[in-house]
Amino acid sequence: MATTQSTAVRPFTNEPTADYRKEENARGMREAIAKVRKELGREYDLVIGGKRIKTSGKIRSINPAKPGEVVGIHQKAEREHVEPAMEAALAAFETWQYAPLEQRVGVLRRTAEILRQRKFEFNAWLVLEVGKNWDEAEADTVEAIDFLELYAHQAEVLDRAEPVVQLPGEKGYLRYIALGVGAVIPPWNFPNAIAMGMAAASVVCGNTVVLKPSSDSPTIAAKFFEAMEEAGLPPGVVNFCPGSGATFGNGLVEHPKTRYIAFTGSKEVGLDINERAAKTAKGQVWIKRTILEMGGKDSIVVDADADVDSAVAGVIAAAFGFQGQKCSACSRAIVHEAVYDEFLTKLKAGVEKLPLGSPEDNVRMGPVINEGAMKSILNYIEVGKQEGRLIAGGARAEGEGYFIQPTVIADIAPGARLSQEEIFGPVLAVIKAKDFDDALAIANNTEYGLTGAVYTTDPAKIERAMREFHVGNLYINRKCTGAIVGANPFGGFNMSGTDSKAGGTDYLYLFSQAKAIGRKL
């Protein structure tokens, strides 16, 4: 990392979240939504090397709660744009890799301050483009701020790294230097936080980026890209390129000058990226690095001695928050047979009370992201009806948008499709376990290993879960969603990815390489 130690490391603290039960915050959100609505339908350019570019192909981002409403129109990068984007990023890398630490850290902290000052507006874009309610949007934007601040802090920490041993007659140095040009490919479900986090980690380490946001959320990416420009990011350090995954995305992954790929999304796409990146192209002089955060089939285990009311509340929050569209969402409740019927009765009552409606009104549950997702989720519900017993929901909800009733299907077998395949929607499978041993075995029976939770009051069982529940993020007596930057570094095992631990103290190691230097005195 950069070469000076002129300033002290600034402490990191988490950004506080706004309480929308307070009228001043609610009023701020209503005003922000009204303001953002006036910008709907605006056209956005590709930005390559600081130049604004139009293309013949367009991406139209729509409001999933009102599919007839266009949020933004974006230029569509295709394979012919790969080389210009790469050339711009390579040119910027020649100087940015040597930019002083203070400059790189300064861009992140100024961007964080812009997000703070305009938080309601960023939240409003999340409400309108991906269907988050105010509280979910708030969490997304606050997490983006936390990523910016934590990675700025950790860059200062890495800048002070030294070898463990200083040899007699020699001065040893340990420098963390940039990798090169990275392809940053974020998802639509946390389009501010994850995209900002991967881009921020890249640039603070001295890398340059070709950013290909999801076609479902390019407007939010455009907004935070504009914020980074305003914060002083030089041209070409981040190149804004929404586009086709099959053409532009694959071309970027396969390019011999791409040094690394940071991706968050589905298992299928992540494995395809990993395979393409593993093939050495002509002219390539490194092994490409892949930083992959993929899917999950996350379980909450409810033991016989659990506080059932608390477990039901945690399962509902984790299964149906943002319509279950989180890789960390609880998609399986594994419940001890001794409390199974009680749990189902209370779960059914709680789920049936969940309100559905417009995210603009901060209703707890809104739409799923698009028509394709809606159809896929409804197909899984039909599969579930054959595999188990429908307890709640089970159909598309009323409204013009992509609304689906929160759905619970009980008596699912551990090996059933509903128990094994990622659905990414408001569908919960409930599985009966004979005892705690059985529950842990079921929890570990998928190809994923992202998040999980256990509700029990038995210290010995808690210790067993901490030792044997094979997930990257485990929670005891709380829900399995809601990882907090700095406290719960996020990333999973097995087919859930490369255990990247975003929001952790070691995340920047993935975006840099260590150079050890010994200087004879």
List pLDDT tens digits, range 156-213: 999 999 999 999 999 999 999 999 999 999 999 999 999 999 999 999 999 999 999 9
pLDDT score for 8: 84
CATH architecture assigned to 33-294+499-520: 3-Layer(aba) Sandwich (3.40)
Spell out the residues 6+ positions from residue 244 whose beta carbon is closer than 8 angstroms to its own: 76, 77, 78
pLDDT score for 2: 43
Q: Within a 13 Å sphere around the CA of 192, how many CA atoms are in the beta-carbon half?
A: 31
pLDDT score for 101: 98
What DSSP designation does 10 have? P
pLDDT score for 151: 98
Strand partners, 185: 263
| Residue 327 appears among annotated catalytic residues | yes
Q: Catalytic residue among 327, 330, 387, 480, which?
A: 327
Distance CA 47, CA 397 (A): 39
| Residue 330 appears among annotated catalytic residues | no
Contact 175, 21 (CB under 8 A): no
> Residues spanned by CATH 3.40.605.10 within the chain?
33-294+499-520
**298-484 CATH pick, 1.25.40.10, 3.40.309.10, 3.40.50.1820, 2.30.30.40:** 3.40.309.10
Contact 470, 487 (CB under 8 A): no
| Measured CA distances, 315 to 33, 432, 434, 443 (Å) | 30, 15, 20, 15
Q: Catalytic residue among 293, 360, 387, 422, which?
A: 293
Mark the ranges of the chain whose per-residue pLDDT is less than 70: 1-7
Burial class (CB in 10 A: 0-12, 13-18, 19+), 516: exposed
pLDDT score for 399: 85
Q: What is the DSSP string of 383-433?
A: HHHHHSEEEE--SBPSSSS--B--EEEES--TTSHHHHS---SSEEEEEEE
